[in-house]
Amino acid sequence: MSETNEVKWRNPLAVWPGGKEIEELPTNAWHSHQDVWRARRESKTKLYPVGRLRYWYKFAGHGGRLWSRMRYWPTRRRVLDVRGEYNRKTLQREKTVADRRPIYWLLCLAALAIAPLLAPSNMQYTLLVAGATFGIYAAINLCWNLVIGIGGIFSLATYSIVGTSAFITAYLSIQYGFSWWMLAPIGAVVGLLFGAVIAFPATRLDGFYYALLTLGLNELCRVYFTTSSEFGGSNGGLYGADSYIPDSWSSDHQLLLGYYACFGLMLAALFLHRFVGGRRIGRLLRMAPEKREAFAEATGVDFRRARVWIFLIYAAALGFIGGFYVTNFGGVSFSIFSFDAVLLGLAMLVIGGIGRPEGAVAGTLIVVFLDKVMLGLGPLRLVLVGLIALLVVLYLRNGLFGIKTQFRAWRDKKKSEHRSTRAEKGGEMLPEEATETDDKGIVYARRFDKMTRDHLKTLVSPEIIEEHRVTLNGQHSDALERLLIYFRTREQVEKYGILNVVPFKNYRIVAFSGHKGVPPRLVEDRIYPSYDAACHGVFLRRVQDLLES
Amino acid sequence: MAQVKVFGYSDKLSLKVGEEVQIHVSADGTDTVDAQLVRLIHGDEHPDGPGFIEEEVDCEANGVWDVEKQFTQVGSFLEVEDPAKTLALDGSITLHAFIWPRTPEIGHRQCILGRWDNRRNFGYCLGINRTGRLEFWVGRGDEIDYVEAEVPLQEQVWYFVAATFDTKTGKATLYQEGVPNRYNSRLGRVTPIDYRSHVSEVFRFRQKNLDETPFLMAGSRDWHELRGDFVSQLYCGKIDRCGVYDRALGRAELDGLRQGGEPPAEGLVAYWDTTVGYTDRGIGDEVVDTGPNRLNAYGYNRPVRAMTGWNWTARNDCFRLAPEQYGGIEFHDDAVIDSNWKVTAKFKLPEKIRSGAYAMRLRSGDGTGLAEEYVVFFVRPKKPTGRIAFLFSTATYLAYANERFALDGSIVQPMGGQPPTITEPDIEMYKNPEFGLGAYDHHADGAGVCYTGYHRPLLNMRPKYRISAFGMPWNFPADLSVVAWLEHKGYDYDILTDEDIHYEGAAAMAPYNCVLNSTHPEYYSENMMDATEDYIAGGGRYICVGANSFCCNVAFRDDDPTVMECRKVGGHWKAWLAQPGEYHMATTGQMGGLWNKIARYGQKIAGVTMAGEGFAHSRPYELMPDAFDPELAWITKGIEPGELIGNFGLGNGGAAGIELDRYHLDFGTPPDTKVIASSGGHPDNYVAMDEEGAYAHQGFSGTHNHELRGDFTFCPSHNGGAVVATGSIAFGMALPINNFDNNVSTLLGNVVDAFAEPGPLPGAKEKVAVAAE
């Protein structure tokens, strides 16, 4: 309205002598701050009933009773990671099993332990052979996971270590008659030596180059063993080593023994994985994944030493498995060095999810099932393995066992997208936000703030801005005073202030952090020649922030 | 190259000519500084005034000093004196305490009670882990074993907690029970919450102890390669009666302790009864062990005592009435009382210097910004030489020491009516907790700061400093405008400080005919109040150049002038509020807060005190009818009727402003007081301090309220004594305008000239003359 220009504010201080006070200035026509409250009767957006579903059972707290917590002797690890807490909304005492994985492990391992009893008789042979293979490959993959998952080093030398150890122990057994029980320990020594050779490049090379190096090593082993006459270059492998399975047993019992021995091997590998991953060395290595070595080093982590250690453990364990492999199968073929063995192994890890033991075991289970049980599918089964691996790589962030986190992240993203389409910036809280806010006072403060701002926005006019420029920190008209009181009473977070760089010459605008010890930040490059100019600059920024909200 | 920063402090604030002074310096980015003794004459660099003025003074210590980086132990805690290592217990053990955690989830582990080496993992400790749960842990160097409680501790609720460890069975048990009553905690009976937790686990080994680890409460021993030993993992909250046993106590025995029973004697190693030692005059830093070994504990950085305990029932609101309910000792992880730096230089002040405000000016690098430091101290003559004394308000400087409320307090902008103007020292103080806080700040845990000391760099007691909240000189730098005026007018003046008045009483002022107080004499101890009253009543002439005078009660220990206690109490106008029951100062047993809350109105001394404050434009004074009394004409000599007095000034452009004091008969203004001039027309940013008003209502601000004014008053006293009060902080800051030639200067000059002259005042002379005729 053109009338606004005719409204004048008269300074109550103008009557006092001194002659410094402005007598009158143009200002806004007055209107009530209650207009915005009257205009608002209901939310513009649809409000849904809210609440959270309870997926898991919550145990009651112990209260005054003594809670004796059990540990896995001789460690300080508690049998279950149970978290006691107060429910945020009801203050009731609750206990939650924070980590349910031990329960799932126990159930799955028990299922594997009784699986042979449940196998259909016509599939008995296939399943038990596949089961034994699964046990060995799962053990290999668990060890592999130590370097790829925990150590973060992309080593492809796994099968060359297993193969080398297998060939050497098989050779020793055949040529020198070493008994079956000596083969696995000897294999471990062979693996250790092998590990010592490949550990040192790992402290220097990384990523792609190390993968290439170890792949080359694998190829070197294959060529060496296939061409050397001692290792049976002519008959596709070395066979006839001493086996732990007594020849006198019936074939059913032999199969069962093989199955359980391999199952035991997998359990041993699981223990090793847990032991290395959960202890100091595992933590050090997780601190120093690829590309973050410098940071880890700066915080005092000797990652080189840890990497050498993990390599030695990994290689010795794989060597042990190589020796066991020979005693289980009575020999070893050259195919262990083949490139498709490496690829199949990688597929197992990728499908399950790199870095977690459950991923390594489940991935192995899937691939071995397809490869060794679905024999009827012929070569198609390898295509199937490839397809699954491809889909996993394309659509999952961290294998099958990353699905949960990935789903949650996706769900939260969708939720916040949905909320942001309904909420307005700086507006009132939606019911779903409000239920997640502990201090209900904040919920009302947001409402009040929104109403105040809606009113204040109507007060901003060129007259008011000009009035501020000339009166600054003096007496103000009602409209300007309202704006200033609002601006000045805000919380400290991101509130503007002035930084005096050179006294009386050079001023800049800053925003306070609102957090003790965190200094204010500069909000713009502009330099103001006087305090008054900076003060008006702050006002203009605040008006702009108000209008933008 | 690293930025050069130099910080320092002196061992004493008040010295006499020829005395020895010790300067403590810490420096970043340099290992030498140029030191020069200077006398400070004017601070404010405002272009309308004379600018910064200092005078270099010859001194044996001038020259290049070697300096180094020094560290400050931050946080308060108790250390047990245990030379016989009685507490190096490596068998069964029980630790127990009443605790009131202020912030269980502060973001770091908090140790409550223990003998723990944080770096090497030796010893035992009961504390709070990062998730806010009670935890007991033992270490043997290579490994730690621990047991934690089932649920987190609740903020500001009293608990009885204990840990027992039986090395025969290896069983470690935590005991946690809430002990809130109807008064002592944040939550009441209605809240449906279960505080209890009892958890036990079997430890794999027992603790091993190092000889050198101290037994601490509220912290643990740590080490850094540059600093050496220090204390970390500091606790925020209160600890009440606590103890140590060399056996595992049973649940029934612990229940007995929780109910306030006497500790069983069997196996008792130490029992710190935090209620022992209270006297009518407060309590010190020693916490008494009433057990068989007498292992007393001593506070570092002044843990706050005289705090309500677990059994406080609110019937008694002071430790003097029920010391057994005041066992609470409160700790803060960012408390700093004393930097305890090594002495960098020690020297004797020259014999032939005049009394004044001095500083060791330390410069390094380019010598600007943080590379320039003024270590300020005040020098009195060996024997009083002048007729006039200027009193520096060191107690008020201490109250504001290193305050940072422009950066922390959201109320500062509506108060100041302007965006704050921060400078480099503000940011440096804000980033670095080692500078400690002032009585206007809150600790990071949310409690108000009640102790402030000067054995640390006081970055705002510097001649050029401008207070960030209001963008002007404040306290010390503003007081230098009065000093520059005295200097310019050629008066023979000496200087005094609050410290001298507190410890020497009226005797410190007695040699002077006239004493000028500072621009802002807000914080006054009882000794200082008494001394001022006695000086005036004994015939002294006193000028209160500033405002907000004699407002707030503070306390100093008899043996330690460096630390001041200040508790903020009362209806409104305070930077923080002491918790109920904690209004009395541990230093003296007096009620903290405003003097007028205990009927010791500042008006009884000065005739005026606090009317209100604001930081928009300052205003001039106009003469009031009393000025036309012929007996008082000497005061306004040279000022024409109708003339505006102080329509200018370095304090927001006027002589009346910032904080204003007024005449108030109901609050003890002597009825013979004359109002010579008053200010008016203060903007609405000025809000009246309505201490007698029972309700808050509209109309407290400048354009509505006649009480918002500065009164320039004159009041004769006994024996020829008299008081003049200017009623405004901005008054002194108007003196330097137009090279000290202005009507504010004339007005004050008239008063000083008359007051400094021995014998009766001019008006009285005329009166005598008239009577003789």
Predicted local confidence at residue A12, as pLDDT: 87
The pLDDT of residue A1 is above 50: no
The answer to whether the CB atoms of B471 and A519 lie below 8 A apart is no
Q: Which helix (H) or strand (E) holds A501?
A: strand A496-502
CB contacts, 8 Å: A517 with chain B: 430-431, 433, 444
Predicted local confidence at residue B409, as pLDDT: 85
Query: For B92, phi and psi rounded to 5 degrees?
Result: -60, 150
Residues 6+ apart with CB under 8 A from B317: B580, B581, B583, B584
Does A229 reside within a domain? yes
The answer to whether the CB atoms of B200 and A68 lie below 8 A apart is yes
Max intra-chain CA distance, chain A: 122
The closest alpha carbon to B244, from B295, B201, B175, B207, belongs to: B295
Predicted local confidence at residue B768, as pLDDT: 54
CB contacts, 8 Å: A20 with chain B: 617, 647, 653
Q: Is the preceding omega at residue A74 within 30 degrees of 0, hence cis? A: yes
Q: A309 and A332: one domain?
A: yes
CB contacts, 8 Å: B680 with chain A: 16
SS3 assignment, position B298: strand
User: A4 or A32, which is more confident?
Assistant: A32
Residue B373 near residue B362 (C-beta atoms within 8 A)? yes
SS3 assignment, position B251: helix
Q: A221 and A319: one domain?
A: yes
Based on its alpha-carbon atoms, the radius of gyration of chain B, rounded to whole angstroms, reads: 29
The answer to whether the CB atoms of A473 and B414 lie below 8 A apart is no
Predicted local confidence at residue B130, as pLDDT: 96
User: B735 or A376, which is more confident?
Assistant: B735
Q: A227 and A293: one domain?
A: yes
Does A445 reside within a domain? no
By CB neighbour count within 10 A (0-12 exposed, 13-18 middle, 19+ buried), where does A39 fall? exposed
Q: Give CA–CA dist A158/A321, Å, rounded.
A: 11
Does A441 reside within a domain? no
The answer to whether the CB atoms of B413 and A488 lie below 8 A apart is yes
Percent of chain A with pLDDT over 90: 49
Does A173 reside within a domain? yes
Q: How far is CA A409 from the centre of its chain?
A: 10
| Number of compact structural domains in chain A | 3
SS3 assignment, position B41: strand
Does A100 reside within a domain? no
Q: Give CA–CA dist B355/B379, Å, rounded.
A: 5
* B157, B407, B428, B622, best to mutate vs chain A, most A CBs in 10 Å: B407
Q: A142 and A23: one domain?
A: no
- Altogether, the residues listed in chain B come to a count of 773
CB contacts, 8 Å: B653 with chain A: 20
Distance from CA of A489 to the nearest CA of B (A): 6
Q: Which domain covers residue A386, as residue numbers?
A: 339-422
What long-range pairs does A503-511 form, CB within 8 A, spacing at least 24?
Answer: A503/B45, A503/B423, A503/B464, A503/B466, A504/A530, A504/A531, A504/B45, A504/B46, A504/B47, A505/A529, A507/A531, A507/A533, A507/A534, A507/B421, A508/A534, A509/A534, A509/A537, A509/A538, A509/A541, A510/B422
Residue B139 near residue B122 (C-beta atoms within 8 A)? yes
Q: Which helix (H) or strand (E) holds B160?
A: strand B159-166
By CB neighbour count within 10 A (0-12 exposed, 13-18 middle, 19+ buried), where does A177 fall? exposed
DSSP classification of residue B114: E
Q: Give CA–CA dist B288/A117, Å, rounded.
A: 72
Helices (H) and strands (E) in chain B, counts: 12, 44
| Chain B: residue whose CA lies nearest to A13 | B681
Residue given tokens 């063993």 in the structure block: A225
| Chain A: residue whose CA lies nearest to B622 | A17
User: What domains can be seen in chain B, in order of their start residue?
Assistant: 5-72+339-380 (2.60.40), 78-331 (2.60.120.200), 388-767 (3.40.50.880)
Q: Which of B199, B423, B620 faces A18 most closely, judged by CB atoms?
A: B620
Confidence of residue A415 (pLDDT cuts 50, 70, 90): confident
Predicted local confidence at residue A160, as pLDDT: 92
Predicted local confidence at residue A279, as pLDDT: 83
The pLDDT of residue A355 is above 60: yes
The angle that helices A251-278 and A124-145 make with each other, rounded to 10 degrees, is: 20
The closest alpha carbon to B199, from B179, B176, B178, belongs to: B176
Distance from CA of B461 to the nearest CA of A (A): 17
A489–chain B Cβ distance below 8 A for any pair: yes
The answer to whether the CB atoms of A531 and B685 lie below 8 A apart is no
Q: Give CA–CA dist A109/A263, Å, rounded.
A: 9
Does A89 reside within a domain? no
Does A390 reside within a domain? yes
The structure tokens listed for B96 are: 């127990």
Q: Give CA–CA dist B623/B558, Å, rounded.
A: 45
Q: A130 and A233: one domain?
A: yes
Residue B711 near residue B661 (C-beta atoms within 8 A)? yes
Q: A269 and A404: one domain?
A: no
| Regions of chain B with pLDDT less than 50 | 771-773
Q: A365 and A386: one domain?
A: yes
Q: A171 and A291: one domain?
A: yes
The answer to whether the CB atoms of B681 and A474 lie below 8 A apart is no
B112–chain A Cβ distance below 8 A for any pair: no
The string of pLDDT tens digits covering residues A138-188 is: 999 999 999 888 888 888 989 999 999 999 999 999 989 899 999 999 999
Which of A337, A365, A384 is where one domain is finished?
A337
Max intra-chain CA distance, chain B: 105
Does A79 reside within a domain? no
Which of A286, A314, A337 is where one domain is finished?
A337
A485–chain B Cβ distance below 8 A for any pair: yes
The angle that helices B743-756 and B476-489 make with each other, rounded to 10 degrees, is: 70
Predicted local confidence at residue A294, as pLDDT: 86
The pLDDT of residue A206 is above 80: no
Confidence of residue A4 (pLDDT cuts 50, 70, 90): very low
| Residue B745 Cα distances to A277, A381, B42, B354, angstroms | 80, 103, 16, 23
B91–chain A Cβ distance below 8 A for any pair: no
Q: Which of B407, B468, B644 faces A17 most closely, judged by CB atoms?
A: B644
Q: A228 and A129: one domain?
A: yes
Q: A373 and A333: one domain?
A: no
Query: For B582, phi and psi rounded to 5 degrees?
Result: -120, 35
Q: Which of B196, B410, B644 faces A491 most closely, judged by CB atoms?
A: B410
Q: A175 and A310: one domain?
A: yes
Predicted local confidence at residue A236, as pLDDT: 74
Out of A1-10, A457-466, B106-115, B701-710, least confident range: A1-10
Q: A324 and A351: one domain?
A: no
The pLDDT of residue A285 is above 70: yes
Q: Which of A21, A85, A531 faces B151 most closely, judged by CB atoms?
A: A85
Confidence of residue A2 (pLDDT cuts 50, 70, 90): very low
**Residues A306-314: what's their mean pLDDT?**
91
User: B97 or A450, which is more confident?
Assistant: B97
Which of A337, A365, A382 is where one domain is finished?
A337
Query: Across the A/B interface, how many CB contacts are shorter than 8 Å?
Result: 166
